[in-house]
């Protein structure tokens, strides 16, 4: 009985201490200071488990390797993803340097399944800067992007440039309102 009582007291003290620590703003929330090891591994586990649970029911289209999908995905990737995730031949960017967690360089290695890539691109990842592209794109478009992401580690810098140069442009990216006087 004594052991149970002491455990309850310890648990209450721990939660109270944690609450005070949080309310004092003592945890460094700036993106230029890394998480503590404990918080980092907790968040990584939450992310990995959430992604694989989310991807479980997703079925992958049979034509993921089709040239049309890859070409459509290339234009979207260059416009929407490359500044954060870089690309073959692009080693850094201003935004990539400042983000925490740092976006993985998708051209180097991807250890996610196609369904997991689709899930992450569609739903995004909380507390990371990874947007939920499903809010602005159809599933078909997200499969195009997924197809291209899976292809990225196999492309040289010259092949990347070439496929992007021939891809349909992403016309819905940053449409600027025309100035009121009609001048461009």
> Which residues sit at the interface with ligand HEC, rule CB under 6 A?
47, 80-81, 84-85, 99, 101, 103-104, 110, 112, 117, 120-121, 125, 128-131, 133, 145, 149
Q: Which residues of 74-101 are buried (b: 16+ CB within 10 A; e: fewer)?
A: bbbbbbbbbebbbbbebeebeebeeeeb
Question: Which CB atom, from 2 or from 82, has the smaller least distance to ligand HEC?
Answer: 82
Tell me the residue length of the chain.
Answer: 184
CB 180 to ligand HEC: min, Å = 30
CB 144 to ligand HEC: min, Å = 10
CB 141 to ligand HEC: min, Å = 9
Question: Which CB atom, from 129 or from 161, has the smaller least distance to ligand HEC?
Answer: 129
Nearby residues of 170 by Cβ (< 8 Å), 6 or more positions away? 75, 76, 78, 79, 80
Question: Which CB atom, from 84 or from 161, has the smaller least distance to ligand HEC?
Answer: 84
CB 182 to ligand HEC: min, Å = 32
CB 6 to ligand HEC: min, Å = 38
Question: Which CB atom, from 70 or from 117, has the smaller least distance to ligand HEC?
Answer: 117
- Structure-derived torsion over alpha carbons of residues 151, 156, 162, 167, reported in degrees to the nearest 10: 20
Whole-number Cα distances in Å, 58 to 10, 140, 152, 182: 43, 13, 22, 47
CB 96 to ligand HEC: min, Å = 8
In 3D space, the residue among 60, 65, 72 whose CA is nearest the CA of residue 151 turns out to be 65
Question: Which CB atom, from 149 or from 164, has the smaller least distance to ligand HEC?
Answer: 149
Nearby residues of 96 by Cβ (< 8 Å), 6 or more positions away? 83, 84, 85, 86, 102, 103
Question: Which CB atom, from 60 or from 125, has the smaller least distance to ligand HEC?
Answer: 125
Which residue has its beta carbon closest to ligand HEC?
A: 81
């Amino acid at each position: 009985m004594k052991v149970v009582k002491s455990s309850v007291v310890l648990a209450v003290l721990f939660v109270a201490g944690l609450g005070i620590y949080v309310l004092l703003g003592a945890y460094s929330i700036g993106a230029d200071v890394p998480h503590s090891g404990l918080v980092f591994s907790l968040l990584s586990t939450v992310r990995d488990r959430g992604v694989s649970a989310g991807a479980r029911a997703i079925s992958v289209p049979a034509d993921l390797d089709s040239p049309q999908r890859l070409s459509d995905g290339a234009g979207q990737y260059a416009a929407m993803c490359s500044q954060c995730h870089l690309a073959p031949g692009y080693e850094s960017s201003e935004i990539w340097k400042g983000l925490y967690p740092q976006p993985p360089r998708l051209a180097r290695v991807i250890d996610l399944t196609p369904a997991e890539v689709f899930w992450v691109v569609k739903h995004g990842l909380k507390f990371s800067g990874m947007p939920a592209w499903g809010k602005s794109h159809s599933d078909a478009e997200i499969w195009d992007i997924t197809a291209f992401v899976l292809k990225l580690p196999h492309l040289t810098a010259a092949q990347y440039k070439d496929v992007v140069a021939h891809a349909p442009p992403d016309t819905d990216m940053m449409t600027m309102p025309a100035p009121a006087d009609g001048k461009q």
